[in-house]
Amino acid sequence: MRQRQARPRLVQAMIDAFSLPDLRRRILITIGILAIFRFVAHVPLPGVDAEALQKLFQDVPLLGMLDMFSGGAMRRLSVAAMGVYPYITASIIMQLLVPVIPRLQALSLEGEAGRNKINQITHWLVVPLAGLQGYGQLIYFQREGVIGSAAALPMASMVVAMIAGTLFCVWLGELITEHGIGNGISIIIFGGIVAGLPEIIGRGFLAEGQMGGLAAYILIALVTIVVIVIFTEAHRRIPVQYAKSVIRGGRMYKQSGSTHIPLRVNTAGMIPLIFAMSLVMFPALIASYFANPAEPNFANQIMALFNPNAPLPMGLFYWGLYFVLVIAFAFFYTMVIFQQQNLPGTLQRQGGFIPGIRPGKQTSTYLNNVIKRITWAGALFLALVAVMPFVMREVTNVQVIQLSSMGMLIVVGVALDTMKQLEAQLAMRRYEGFIK
């Protein structure tokens, strides 16, 4: 007993987790599937010029940031270069379409069967989205001289291989969800990001004359992670009371119980960052098809204006626009999700009410006002995290490290969610868990 108490809480919790056969099996399955994903990320597409690909990544820093989400798969142009992001895109599209299309809205109200049908439609939507994204990437790499042949048959075979790689990664994620620990899709993304961190950190330590800036960079990154943890877990508790009737001795008595509704400060998660980044990258992507390095034209100016690595003061336009768009999309997506939850209707059906607020329209107005107020904090938090890479680069003058704001949000969020699931598994067996 003394030895158990002397050990650190986290170490003891890990020992307890591995001492349980079923939990140990889930952890080992998750690790094994992640290992398979890493092997798939090293399977290259045919006909790729590896030297030209590496040179392109050195010349275009933005590709390095996108490569981090695939765990190096894009840098190798492997069959898993797109990872599970077409599935993420399909899921976001379906979330936005459910309240708009009556048929999908009816399916969402049919319980487990309706959710399974929506999930099946999402999987079918992944195929065309992965095909379009894969074809666009291959056309870009072919134009940059990375892929030699642009004939129809080789191009079609590479697109099919990339679609298959994406579907395989999605399948691996679902296996983790069913047989492992945590949300499988999130774990796959987490594994890809973490796999690229050692190389990024190594480049920072190998850089000459930047040790002071590197120390400041690491300090700012650690502070940012702490802030992300605080805002990820922050929520506003709305007190709720329930009235119920109990029959005792042939008589009916009214009893009341109380609980609360936790409204998250950051309800939208990282989705506003994805939307905002897609918009600010789109003009530069279109302009790249019309740019002429020999004779700069208007397209070259657009690319320079929407370049995330542009120095001051031009870089302020890109990151300022990114900041504003993140706030706008945070409010938009939060309200979409909040309306889908229909909390006032759920409370009214279950006989619950907020003290001092009448059920129905007044409850709806009250909850809408609360979610709008706390979303300001969540939106400003997301916007500050979004521009943090730019701030870190300008303050520390470290150019060789490029940490992504989305990457930090994903890593912290997935780590917290996985720890909570392990905590729940251990709590059911009366063990002390990871989170105090």
pLDDT category, 8, cuts 50, 70, 90?
low
Helix, strand, or coil (residue 242): strand
The residue written with tokens 């291959």 in the block is 138
Look at residue 402 and tell me whether its pLDDT is greater than 50.
yes
The amino acid present at 161, given as its one-letter code, is A
Conformational region of residue 71, where left means phi above 0, alpha means psi within -120 to 50, and beta covers everything else = left
Domain annotation for the chain: domains and CATH numbers: 1-207+401-436 (1.10.3370.10), 210-399 (1.10.3370.10)
How many CB atoms sit inside 10 A of residue 137's CB?
Answer: 19
Residue 171 is predicted with a pLDDT of: 93
What is the model's pTM? 0.76
Query: Measured between alpha carbons, how far apart are the two ends of the chain, in Å?
Result: 19
Percent of the chain with pLDDT over 70: 81
For the ranges 35-44, 259-268, 403-412, the lowest mean pLDDT is seen at 403-412
Cα–Cα distance for residue pair 150/143, rounded to 1 Å:
9
**Nearest Cα residue to 241 out of 229, 253, 258, 227:** 258
- What the block records as the tokens of 246 is 């109990």
Strand partners, 256: 243
Chain mean pLDDT for the chain = 79
Per-residue pLDDT reduced to its tens digit, 82-103: 888 888 888 888 887 887 888 8
The residue written with tokens 């399977």 in the block is 43
- What the block records as the tokens of 125 is 């939507």
The answer for residues whose C-beta is within 8 angstroms of residue 401's C-beta and 6 or more apart is 200, 201, 203, 204, 214, 217
